[in-house]
Amino acid sequence: DIQMTQSPLSLSASVGDRVTIICRASQDISNSLAWLQRKAGRAPESLIFHASSLQSGVPSRFSGSGSGTDFTLTINGLQPEDFAIYYCQQYNSYPPTFGQGTKVEVK
């Protein structure tokens, strides 16, 4: 199985900050990478697919980049509703696998 490693596992930030989360795959996954957001008590929400394509309805302050093994999720201008846990997921090969998650907390 492809291992997905995220860093950092947690970070503290303030509203308005630029936040960057890194995801690394154990082997080349091309651009078959998604980012999702999970808030307590709510359904996880898919943010980005194909490494950089925004899911419909997702604010443009979210952006993704990367290909191969190294990927980045950036939030430009963190908003109060963005404090959550973020996961990357590879869908290049079976089985789909996820990163450990990065918790974005209030500084």
By C-beta, is 76 or 98 nearer to other proteins?
98
- Per DSSP (E only), the strands in 8-101 are 10-13, 18-25, 33-38, 45-49, 53-54, 62-67, 70-76, 85-90, 97-98
The contact set with other proteins (CB under 8 A) reads 32, 34, 36, 41-46, 49-50, 55, 87, 89, 91-101
CB of 14 to other proteins, least distance (A): 27
By C-beta, is 49 or 71 nearer to other proteins?
49
SS3 of residue 82 by DSSP:
helix
